[in-house]
Copies of this chain bind each other. A is one copy, B any other.
Amino acid sequence: MVTPGSFAAATAVQPTVDGGFTASIPEGWDIIGNVDGGILLAVAARAAAVVAERPDPVTVTCHYLAPGRAGDHTVQAEVVRSGRRFATARSTLLDADGRPVVTTLGTYGSLGAADERLHVDGSPPDLPAPEECEHLVGGDGFPPTFTDRVEVRLHPEDSGLFRGEPSGVPQVRGWFRLLDGEPVDTIGLLLAVDAFPPTVFNASLPLGWTPTVELTAHVRARPAPGWLACEFRTRFVTGGFLEVDGEVWDATGALVAQSRQLALVPRG
């Protein structure tokens, strides 16, 4: 059931008479005051999917232009090319002052379940059962309130990052699902790939907050109902940048999404 606090409601878009969209992002989806980047991407992608007349983001890229705040927004979306099987569309989310917050470019289609598997060199992360993982919860400001809206459960080996006990490996693994059994559709996967703590919080590096420049997600299939097993890893912190590579596996053991983001290493 979709409640007002649900992901679907928080990221809904309404068409306007001039061909644009409005969106109202509620409070409570923020991390230290900034709306989670996955929420911003989901809103922008929903508008793009509408104009693309296709339900699923096969591959979507989001560039983060300014911190997002709860409140009224507009979305401009347009099709670049519509083909038989896919349509490519772009969208920009603007705040109430008309300032661009995120901009996206994606190709949309209609995906099925993850059936055809011709070559698979990888497997879901080896996670303890969800109840044996650490549930990120909000309450006292940090971890943030965003974590009250989703169920993110970290692998015990990766969850020391908030207690000043980084694992030393820039990796974060864990389970993801929405609250109250809300199904995760392919737009929900765009939230899953940006819902975990930064990998570098587990590195023994002199790092602070790492703002995302860009995130690209490939969605391979509609996820089966149930927990999603997620893994995020950083291999290169160089030249002031770092990448975060993500994989999301559904309850059938199928890879349903891959992601990569580029983030900034803060300058001292």
A239 engages B112 (CB within 8 Å): yes
Stretch of A18-26, A30-38, A146-154, A215-223 with 4 or more beta carbons under 8 angstroms from chain B: A215-223
Known A-B contacts A65-B80, A80-B103, A119-B170; the reply to A218 vs B241 at CB < 8 A is: yes
Which of A122, A235, A236, A265 has the most B CB atoms < 10 Å from its CB?
A236
Given contacts A65-B88, A81-B100, A86-B213, are A118 and B265 in contact (CB under 8 A)? yes
Q: Is A238 an interface residue (CB 8 A)?
A: yes
Q: Within 8 Å of chain B (Cβ to Cβ): is A69?
A: no
The CA-CA distance from A103 to B87 in the complex, in Å, is: 12
A4 within 8 A of B: no
> Quick one: copies of this chain in the complex?
2
Q: Any chain B CB within 8 A of the CB of A140?
A: no
If over half of A's interface residues share one DSSP class (helix, strand or loop), that class is named, otherwise mixed; here it is strand
A81 to B58, CA, bound (A): 25
Tell me which residues across on chain B come within 8 A of A65, comparing CB atoms.
Answer: 80-81, 83, 88
**Contacting chain B: which of A6-14, A129-137, A190-198, A254-262?**
A254-262
Min C-beta distance of A231 to chain B, whole Å: 13
A66 to B104: give the CA distance in the assembly, Å. 20
- Does A92 belong to the interface (CB within 8 Å)? yes
- Determine whether A117 belongs to the interface, using a CB cutoff of 8 Å to chain B: yes
In the complex, A86 Cα to B103 Cα: how many Å? 14
Please tell me if A59 contacts chain B, counting CB pairs below 8 Å.
Answer: yes
Assuming the contacts A61-B216, A114-B239, A239-B112, asked whether A103 and B88 have C-beta atoms less than 8 A apart, the reply is yes
Bound Cα distance A185, B242 (Å): 21
- Extra inter-chain contacts (6) besides given A119-B170, A214-B218, CB under 8 Å: A58-B262, A65-B83, A216-B216, A218-B241, A220-B239, A260-B260
Say which residue of B118, B120, B205, B254 sits within 8 Å of A118 (CB atoms).
B205
Q: A103-B90, A105-B61 are in contact. Are A117 and B238 (CB under 8 A)?
A: yes
